[in-house]
Amino acid sequence: YVHPPAHVAQWNMSGFKPVPSGDAFAGTPHVFCPRWVKRVRLLSQLWENRTFFRQGWKLPFQIERRVIEALEYFGYTEVDNPVKAAFTFMSELDSWKPNNWLQDPLVNRHFINRAPPGLTGDKVKLFSHLRDLSRRCEAFDLFSILPETYLTDDAEDCQKIREKVTDDSWMRKDGKEHLGRGIEPVSALLDGDCEDLDSPQKEKSSVVYQRKIDTLKVNGKATSFRMYALIASFDPLVVLNNVGHNGFMYIAGKDEREWYSQEQTSTLTFEQLDAQMAKQYGITNFYEKHIYPQFRNILSYSIAAVKDQFVGGVGHYDLICQDILMSSDLKLHLLEMNSGCFMEGFGDKVAGRQFLGVHATETVLAVQRALLSDTSVMDLLDDNLRTSNGLFELLYSNQPGAEFSQGQASVCDAGERTGEEKMATPAAVPNKRDGEEAQKEGLGGSIGLICLFVLPQSFCRRFVESIFAAKTYSHEFQLPSLTSAAIAGHSAKDSLVPRLEGKPIQYKTGGSDGAVTLQDLREQLALDPGTIFATLEGNGSCVTPLSLHQETFTGLDETTVLLSVDETSEAHALLAAYVHPPAHVAQWNMSGFKPVPSGDAFAGTPHVFCPRWVKRVRLLSQLWENRTFFRQGWKLPFQIERRVIEALEYFGYTEVDNPVKAAFTFMSELDSWKPNNWLQDPLVNRHFINRAPPGLTGDKVKLFSHLRDLSRRCEAFDLFSILPETYLTDDAEDCQKIREKVTDDSWMRKDGKEHLGRGIEPVSALLDGDCEDLDSPQKEKSSVVYQRKIDTLKVNGKATSFRMYALIASFDPLVVLNNVGHNGFMYIAGKDEREWYSQEQTSTLTFEQLDAQMAKQYGITNFYEKHIYPQFRNILSYSIAAVKDQFVGGVGHYDLICQDILMSSDLKLHLLEMNSGCFMEGFGDKVAGRQFLGVHATETVLAVQRALLSDTSVMDLLDDNLRTSNGLFELLYSNQPGAEFSQGQASVCDAGERTGEEKMATPAAVPNKRDGEEAQKEGLGGSIGLICLFVLPQSFCRRFVESIFAAKTYSHEFQLPSLTSAAIAGHSAKDSLVPRLEGKPIQYKTGGSDGAVTLQDLREQLALDPGTIFATLEGNGSCVTPLSLHQETFTGLDETTVLLSVDETSEAHALLAAYVHPPAH
pLDDT digits (tens, 9 = 90+) for 708-751: 999 988 888 999 999 999 999 888 889 999 999 999 999 989 88
Query: For the residues 138-165, what does the mean pLDDT come to?
Result: 90
In whole angstroms, what is the distance from residue 433 CA to residue 418 CA? 14
Q: Is the pLDDT of residue 536 over 90?
A: no
| Least confident residue range of 448-462, 482-496, 939-953 | 448-462
Q: What is the pLDDT of residue 832?
A: 52
Side-chain-side CA neighbours of residue 144 (13 Å): 19
CA distances from 365 to 232, 315, 360, 561, 1101 (A): 8, 10, 9, 48, 35
Query: For the residues 621-645, what does the mean pLDDT come to?
Result: 81
Signed CA dihedral, 1040, 1041, 1045, 1049: sign only: positive
Which is more confident, 418 or 1129? 1129
Query: For the residues 847-872, what does the mean pLDDT come to?
Result: 92
Q: What is the pLDDT of residue 548?
A: 86
What is the per-residue pLDDT across 32-88, written as a single tens digit (0 to 9) for each? 788 888 888 888 888 888 899 887 765 566 778 888 888 888 888 899 888 889 888
Picking from 1025, 1029, 1022, 971, the residue whose alpha carbon sits closest to that of residue 1000 is 971
Return the DSSP state at 221. Answer: B
- Three-state SS for 47-116 is HHCCEEEEECCCCCCEHHHHHHHHHHHCCCEECCCHHHCCEEEECCCCCCCCCHHHCCCCCCCCEEECCC
Give the pairing type, strands 51-55 and 87-90. Answer: parallel
Query: For the residues 863-890, what does the mean pLDDT come to?
Result: 91
Q: What is the pLDDT of residue 570?
A: 60
Reported confidence tier of residue 473, pLDDT bands at 50, 70, 90 = low
| Least confident residue range of 436-440, 1017-1021, 1032-1036 | 1017-1021
Contact in structure between 886 and 696 (CB atoms under 8 Å)? no
Determine the distance from the C-alpha atom of residue 1004 to the mean position of all C-alpha atoms in its chain, rounded to a whole number.
27
Q: What is the pLDDT of residue 455?
A: 30
Query: For the residues 378-387, what does the mean pLDDT come to?
Result: 89
Query: For the residues 1080-1104, what does the mean pLDDT come to?
Result: 73
CA distances from 1126 to 378, 393, 1130 (A): 10, 21, 8
% of the chain with per-residue pLDDT over 90: 22
Q: Is the pLDDT of residue 912 over 80?
A: yes
Contact in structure between 1110 and 1122 (CB atoms under 8 Å)? yes
Q: Is the pLDDT of residue 11 over 80?
A: no
Reported confidence tier of residue 1147, pLDDT bands at 50, 70, 90 = low
What is the per-residue pLDDT across 384-406, written as a single tens digit (0 to 9) for each? 899 988 889 999 999 988 899 98
Q: What is the pLDDT of residue 1032?
A: 25
What is the per-residue pLDDT across 826-839, written as a single tens digit (0 to 9) for each? 888 765 555 555 55
Q: What is the pLDDT of residue 736?
A: 92
Q: Is 456 exposed, middle or buried (0-12, 13-18, 19+ CB in 10 A)?
A: middle
Q: What is the pLDDT of residue 651?
A: 86
Q: Is the pLDDT of residue 542 over 70?
A: yes
Q: Is the pLDDT of residue 793 over 60?
A: yes
Query: For the residues 663-684, what does the mean pLDDT come to?
Result: 73
Mean per-residue pLDDT over the chain, rounded: 75
What is the per-residue pLDDT across 490-528, written as a single tens digit (0 to 9) for each? 343 344 443 455 666 677 776 667 778 888 888 887 877
Residue type, 962: L
Q: Is the pLDDT of residue 1075 over 90?
A: no
Q: What is the pLDDT of residue 195?
A: 82
Q: Is the pLDDT of residue 544 over 60?
A: yes
Q: What is the pLDDT of residue 430?
A: 34
Q: What is the pLDDT of residue 433?
A: 38
In whole angstroms, what is the distance from residue 884 CA to residue 478 CA? 38
Which is more confident, 1109 or 448? 1109
Which is more confident, 573 or 1021? 573
What is the per-residue pLDDT across 978-1014, written as a single tens digit (0 to 9) for each? 889 998 777 778 643 333 333 322 222 333 343 333 3
Query: For the residues 625-651, what does the mean pLDDT come to?
Result: 82
Q: Is the pLDDT of residue 154 over 70?
A: yes
Residue 686 φ/ψ, nearest 5 degrees:
-120, -25
Reported confidence tier of residue 807, pLDDT bands at 50, 70, 90 = very high
In whole angstroms, what is the distance from residue 173 CA to residue 149 CA? 10
CA distances from 340 to 111, 359, 468 (A): 16, 16, 63
What is the per-residue pLDDT across 274-287, written as a single tens digit (0 to 9) for each? 999 999 999 988 99
Largest Cα span, the chain:
106
Q: What is the pLDDT of residue 1022?
A: 22
Which is more confident, 1122 or 1006? 1122
Query: For the residues 867-886, what does the mean pLDDT come to?
Result: 92
E-only strand ranges, 243-377: 248-251, 266-269, 316-326, 332-339
Q: Is 482 exposed, middle or buried (0-12, 13-18, 19+ CB in 10 A)?
A: buried
Query: For the residues 885-901, what does the mean pLDDT come to?
Result: 90
Picking from 889, 352, 898, 327, the residue whose alpha carbon sits closest to that of residue 589 is 352
Q: Is the pLDDT of residue 824 over 60?
A: yes
